[in-house]
Amino acid sequence: MILSPSISTARIVCILVTLAGSGLPGRARAEGIRDDYARADALRERAQGKVFRDHVTPHWFANIDRFWYRVDGPGKAREFILVDAVRGTRGPAFDHARLAASLSKAAEKPFPADHLPFDFIQVEDDGKIRFEAAGSGWSYDPPTDEIARAESPERPAEEPANPRGRNGNFRPRPGTASKNFSPDGKWLVIVKDHRLYLHDRKTLEDFILGEAGSEDDAYELPVFWSDDSKKVVAMRTLKGDDRKVYLIESSPKDQLQPQLSHYNYLKPGDRVPISKPHLFDVEARKPIEVSDALFINPWSIDEVRWSSDSKRFTFLYNQRGHQTLRVVAVDASTGEAKTLIEEKSPTFVDYSNKTYLQFFDKTDEVLWMSERDGWNHLYLIDARTGAVKNPITKGEWLVRGVDRVDEETRQVWFRAMGIVPGQDPYHVHFARVNLDGTGLVMLTEGDGDHQVRYSPDRRFLVDTYSRVDLAPVTELRKAEDGKLVVGLERGDDSALRAEGIAAPERFVAKGRDGTTDIHGVIFRPGRLDPSKKYPVIEQIYAGPHGAFVPKTFAPFHRTQALAELGFIVVQIDGMGTNWRSRAFHDVCWKNLSDAGLPDRILWMKAAAGKYPYLDLTRVGIYGGSAGGQNALGAMLFHGDFYKAAVADCGCHDNRMDKIWWNEAWMGWPIGPHYAEQSNVTNAHKLKGALLLTVGELDHNVDPASTMQVVNALIKANKDFELIVFPGADHGAGGSPYGERRKRDFFVRHLRGVEPPSRNATADPGPGD
């Protein structure tokens, strides 16, 4: 269950155990199968360099009213554009033909106007343009056409658009900075012999603070000091279980014999380390007892923070089982602990994606994120009482992340999903709102998934949006009201389409409840013949931590390469995945085997109703990690629909996988539902064709999870195929060899065609 699998492809040797071949009878080698593979293998290269005017990187001038950017065109042509944000104008940064002529003369080398030999310029206050070309720096004056050698311009570091990505939250002060020295410089906290000591930096005396710890129940450094240096909080951690996963590398590079290695890896149900805060009075040199009744069973305690008046400290308590998230406030004088803010859920609190906590000292307020009304929104909380002052955002849409909080103007800049009616609810848009919930301003508008770059003073933003079926569109907008200043670029993908590479189609159908829209995409082979029937393959990843159908434009999709082999390939986000309503997400609770499969099947049936060339009697499915679990689960729980599956590095039994991910969605304590939903427990239900792949050195998902499925299949006398990749880590099935074997598997079992033989000496390697 990794967001971006790490693939070890160096020196992959395949051990293939074919326990029995299963597939369609009378398999034959189709005439055009080699051409299909050649076309699929060439797709990535054919797509390269076929999309233009698809990105804008603004370089703002010192006065922040203007910026320039470079546009790349066919044949490595380039053009420099100057934008005046105040006037709303866009045009050439200089006369390219005149500069080319002047440079050609000065450098004694010809340069065409549309292929100037530099990709970066610096515009001086006097309007002169500096650049580097022909091994020298140059200064060019557009009005006079004068050019002279000069110092080369310095390239500033470029910030990426939306640097926190789609998920991240801006957190300017998550808690009080931990440090061992007191703010007044008088004291230093140290640990000796499992005791906490207060060291007087002037007299060099040491004073014991509190009872002794132990090796298994130890104090941690650094500590958290109150601003007045009179109180200090130290975390004390009781050790958890010491579970290790052991791996055998069969074919190490530096020796003949296998090597044994291990890594630390807690699994669901294991005893976790328990950290709790301990409060100490520095002047009295003694502890102040704090009852742990409000944080008796922590999964984690984070964001320890002292108030500016040093009268209390707060922390964020995530209870094991992830059904309670609580901000606890502790009185610094008495040690009395009270609940300030609390989130409780009968299912789970999505602490890894949907939490935000920021205190405002000047106004005694807290900015808090919550799904308490069924959608992820922001709330303004009274920091003294914990009462909700007002919702900041509300509606049947959600806040994806906080980008910026301005305490002076009392505004929040954030990303939202589902906020624009009629658009795909997974599209990310940018917005701003006042802390009192008024003045919501949409900063982006176009129908697509957005990324923005703000001007240094945040008066303007360069907004780029795209869809899987729309090349990027870039606009300049005002941050004050979101209004369009000037259009900058529209991506040109005509050369890509001329290659016969079609964009995937966005498709929407109703889910199992008959009302909820389920979103996905369809990839078709470039030589589609609507009069024929095509097998359907689903690429699946149903991890509840995110949504996985592609939303932004890309010239090449690996999924499209698979479609070129004569398949319709689909990707779908079913119920139980993230970034919709709370009810949509809750479907996954103690129910990971569901994987949204009922919604996915209905979606494919709706697609086949519109496009009869989808052959739902031949449906395959594949995925890796959580997707590997999902792919095999589809075969076991919906074997009448899915006929073939490739499952790579799957976490096939949630008791075998990492503790944090699985307890988040399957719950704690461990119940019978873990075993009931296990692919190992249900392996005997296998009907169709199955290929299992796994790297023997998987550090993300215990590879024994796959081998336990193998064991269960053997006991059930089932036919399947297995590839173990020596020396490979997580995601080995995505290596060139693994990708080729996946293609061959589906060609053989869904098309009923024998793939080209790779054992002939004249055949090429696996390709990509």
What's residue 496's pLDDT? 96
* Whether the predicted pLDDT of 746 surpasses 70: yes
Residues 22 and 133 in one domain: no
Residues 606 and 555 in one domain: yes
Q: Is residue 305 part of a domain?
A: no
Tens of pLDDT along 32-50?
899 999 999 999 999 999 9
* Whether the predicted pLDDT of 4 surpasses 50: no
Q: What are the two backbone dihedrals, phi and then psi, of residue 244, each rounded to the nearest 5 degrees? A: -130, 150
Q: Is residue 99 part of a domain?
A: yes
What's residue 162's pLDDT? 60
The mean pLDDT value for 266-270 works out to 98
What's residue 21's pLDDT? 36
Q: Is residue 608 part of a domain?
A: yes
Residues 108 and 22 in one domain: no
Element (H, E) at 695: strand 689-695
What's residue 7's pLDDT? 38
Q: Is residue 428 part of a domain?
A: no
Residues 537 and 624 in one domain: yes
Residues 38 and 145 in one domain: no
CA neighbor of 479 nearest in space, from 542, 404, 580: 404
CB 407 within 8 A of CB 360: yes
* Whether the predicted pLDDT of 66 surpasses 90: yes
Tens of pLDDT along 298-339?
999 999 999 999 999 999 999 999 999 999 999 999 999 999
* Whether the predicted pLDDT of 9 surpasses 60: no
CA neighbor of 614 nearest in space, from 557, 560, 537: 537
Which two three-digit tokens encode residue 124?
A: 């001086």
The mean pLDDT value for 91-102 works out to 97
**Quick check: helix, strand or coil at residue 401?**
strand
* Whether the predicted pLDDT of 531 surpasses 70: yes
* Whether the predicted pLDDT of 445 surpasses 80: yes
Over pLDDT 90: what percentage of the chain? 89
Q: What is the mean pLDDT of the chain?
A: 93
| Residue 763 binned pLDDT confidence (cut-offs 50, 70, 90) | low
pTM of the model: 0.92
Q: Is residue 720 part of a domain?
A: yes
Which two three-digit tokens encode residue 387?
A: 């009462």
What's residue 155's pLDDT? 83
What's residue 24's pLDDT? 40
Omega before 669 cis (within 30°)?
yes
CB 687 within 8 A of CB 635: yes
- 188 has which bridge partners? 181, 199
27 vs 33, which has greater pLDDT?
Answer: 33
CA neighbor of 162 nearest in space, from 429, 398, 370: 429
- 123 has which bridge partners? 129
Residues 650 and 679 in one domain: yes
CA distances for 354 relative to 169, 349, 549, 583, angstroms: 9, 8, 20, 15
- Give the span between the Cα atoms of 40 and 33, in whole angstroms: 11
Name the residue range of residue 93's domain: 59-149
Residues 40 and 72 in one domain: no
CA distances for 420 relative to 52, 441, 484, 492, 735, angstroms: 28, 12, 17, 26, 39
Show the CA angle centred on residue 725, arms to residues 721 and 728, nearest 5°.
145
Q: Where on the phi/psi map is residue 42: left (φ > 0), alpha (ψ -120 to 50), or beta?
A: alpha
CB 598 within 8 A of CB 591: no
What's residue 760's pLDDT? 76
Final residue before a domain boundary, out of 124, 149, 174: 149
Final residue before a domain boundary, out of 125, 149, 173: 149
Residues 667 and 544 in one domain: yes
Distance in Å from the first CA to the final CA of the chain: 23
- Give the span between the Cα atoms of 540 and 520, in whole angstroms: 11
| Residue 178 binned pLDDT confidence (cut-offs 50, 70, 90) | confident
Tens of pLDDT along 632-689?
999 999 999 999 999 999 999 999 999 999 999 999 999 999 999 999 999 999 999 9
Q: Is residue 54 part of a domain?
A: no
CA distances for 456 relative to 42, 63, 481, angstroms: 43, 10, 17
The mean pLDDT value for 425-453 works out to 98
Residue type, 206: D
Tens of pLDDT along 568-611?
999 999 999 999 999 999 999 999 999 999 999 999 999 999 99
Residues 570 and 601 in one domain: yes
Tens of pLDDT along 377-395?
999 999 999 999 999 999 9
CA neighbor of 590 nearest in space, from 673, 660, 675, 682: 673
Q: Is residue 340 part of a domain?
A: no
Segment among 171-175, 211-215, 604-608 with least mean pLDDT? 171-175
Final residue before a domain boundary, out of 132, 149, 166: 149
Show the CA angle centred on residue 317, arms to residues 311 and 322, nearest 5°.
165
CB 733 within 8 A of CB 742: yes
Residues 110 and 40 in one domain: no
Number of domains in the chain: 2
CA neighbor of 543 nearest in space, from 714, 350, 697: 350
| Residue 156 binned pLDDT confidence (cut-offs 50, 70, 90) | confident
Segment among 64-73, 265-274, 468-477 with least mean pLDDT? 64-73
What's residue 164's pLDDT? 47
CB 748 within 8 A of CB 718: no
Residues 565 and 651 in one domain: yes
* Whether the predicted pLDDT of 167 surpasses 80: no
What's residue 11's pLDDT? 35
Q: Which residue has the tokens 């079926």?
A: 469
Q: What is the CATH number of the domain that holds 722?
A: 3.40.50.1820
Residues 627 and 662 in one domain: yes
Residue type, 46: R
What's residue 26's pLDDT? 39
Q: Is residue 597 part of a domain?
A: yes
The mean pLDDT value for 146-165 works out to 76
What's residue 154's pLDDT? 87
Q: Where on the phi/psi map is residue 40: left (φ > 0), alpha (ψ -120 to 50), or beta?
A: alpha
| Residue 173 binned pLDDT confidence (cut-offs 50, 70, 90) | very low
